[in-house]
Structure 1
């Protein structure tokens, strides 16, 4: 049993990158984590990790050992899960990270139904447009829009989020209404959106009758968070493309106006993502299936 625990602790240190983060995620004292790894190295008579004051790196022997033992640990998890999941009542603490618009417009308003169905799950909901590291940040799963960057993660596509081009009535009164996307390059101002991952701006796409235009747009303001993007458009700072699920209620209240409606915007794929080497426990599986059901029923989502 001590050997299996030592292997699990070693694997978590490799995934987290530091002893401190590994200890936090395992709810163990840092000294215990260090001793278990040292015990494993002593038993194997091999150095598995190189330690520095800031970071832990894996030796070639450590990398080979990790690749072989992680498969064994996953097999053990699968064996246990096959014996218990059928009878398991989803319970415990679940850490999920969600983008701001999706959290505000879809997830949070529907959570009362989730808790009625699963009263024994305690949900820690991180709400941010920043890309999190699931292993380092000890997150069970995330809901994220856009094409996946890390192909090592397991992803389930749950919906497509259509965008629409909008502006405030005050902006249109002051600057006029654009009639062609190219006017956004030199006659109008846009509020642009840039990536929290690499700082690069997202391109505004327009399609019509087989023609595709990618417009960067002349801008005075660019933001990296969807709530801020919506707030800037409402403040009359420019034209922007925002999620239809956010835009439609504001249009109905007269706070925003759709422009260039005959040009179709980009549709953002939405995924629920989790690490491949973390067993999909009953609570994670329950949340994932609930999310799939929730988005399938949402009128502003396409499948």
Structure 2
């Protein structure tokens, strides 16, 4: 397996453009990753990368080898998938990603049950509210809120999740209850925005009597972690827009109060994304079916 391991490491170094990042992805040390590349170069008799102190760029031979290496690994994955399908004993490693709120509340709690049912499958769960590239980051499945930008990915819809504008009672007592959507943009209120590097300009889309309207809201605080926004809202620092499932306990307890209920935010789609090839793998199909069923039930239980 050492030669295959070398090829897998080469592919991740090529895709990530960084030896250390590829090593973390492969769960090996940077020294081991470098050694694998060196062994591969010795075997092939060519340089696969040009190295400087700041950059790692593929040579012409590296570019050519990458195309063939991807085909080799795809063939191996397909062969393993075919065998596990026949034996009905799916095994291997799944890389799964989800937004922070979705992952913490809806995905992570069910992973131990999946592992118990399929003990030969290991999982690596990555939680982040930033946009992820499934192919570049080696992900098998990514849960998603919204609409994907990459039309080449396959999508399995889970649910349309209702959302709510809300704030703490203390904030509303101090700043007043907004009586119309325009109050969010005229300087009377602080809005708490989810924003991450590379995110587009943020606008809240509300359902009004005149149809869906966009409001370019602003505020003193922004974060790339949705749970941080919830905490700020609970502590009276502004109005936030959240999926109901993320804050149902705060709404039930009264720590957060809905506002502008006559002009609610549009629901947001929850789905899982995967590439066509990934879905041929039995363990990927099993995981998607397992999680979709449980997440749908969990969403139903969290509505108020």
Q: TM-score, normalised by structure 1?
A: 0.81
CA gap of 1:131–1:114, structure 2 versus 1, over 3 A, is same
**Residue equivalent to 2:82:** 82
Task: Say whether 1:34 aligns with 2:43.
Answer: no
**Residue equivalent to 1:299:** 300
**Residue equivalent to 1:251:** 251
SS in 2 for 1:219: coil
Render the CA deviation track for 1:90-139: whole Å, top value 9, x for unaligned: 44554433222112322234345334423444444333323455566555
Aligned equivalents of 1:61, 1:277: Cα separation in 2: 26
CA gap of 1:178–1:213, structure 2 versus 1, over 3 A, is same
What's the CA shift for 1:209? 3.3
What's the CA shift for 1:275? 5.9
Aligned equivalents of 1:123, 1:76: Cα separation in 2: 20
8 Å CA contact 2:234, 2:255 repeated in 1: yes
**Residue equivalent to 1:49:** 49
**Residue equivalent to 1:205:** 205
What's the CA shift for 1:40? 4.9
8 Å CA contact 1:194, 1:201 repeated in 2: no
CA gap of 1:186–1:215, structure 2 versus 1, over 3 A, is same
What's the CA shift for 1:147? 3.0
CA gap of 1:166–1:102, structure 2 versus 1, over 3 A, is same
CA gap of 1:265–1:77, structure 2 versus 1, over 3 A, is same
**Residue equivalent to 2:62:** 62
**Residue equivalent to 2:147:** 147
8 Å CA contact 2:196, 2:223 repeated in 1: no
Aligned equivalents of 1:266, 1:189: Cα separation in 2: 20
CA gap of 1:177–1:26, structure 2 versus 1, over 3 A, is closer
What's the CA shift for 1:182? 0.4
What's the CA shift for 1:252? 1.8
**Residue equivalent to 1:287:** 287
Aligned equivalents of 2:213, 2:107: Cα separation in 1: 33
**Residue equivalent to 1:161:** 161
Aligned equivalents of 2:47, 2:272: Cα separation in 1: 37
Aligned equivalents of 2:226, 2:62: Cα separation in 1: 41
Instruction: Tell me the C-alpha RMSD between the 2 structures.
Output: 3.3
Aligned equivalents of 2:285, 2:39: Cα separation in 1: 31
Render the CA deviation track for 1:140-165: whole Å, top value 9, x for unaligned: 43323233345565544433333211
Unaligned runs of 5+ in 1: none
What's the CA shift for 1:181? 0.3
8 Å CA contact 1:189, 1:239 repeated in 2: yes
8 Å CA contact 2:183, 2:189 repeated in 1: no
8 Å CA contact 2:78, 2:281 repeated in 1: no
What's the CA shift for 1:267? 2.6
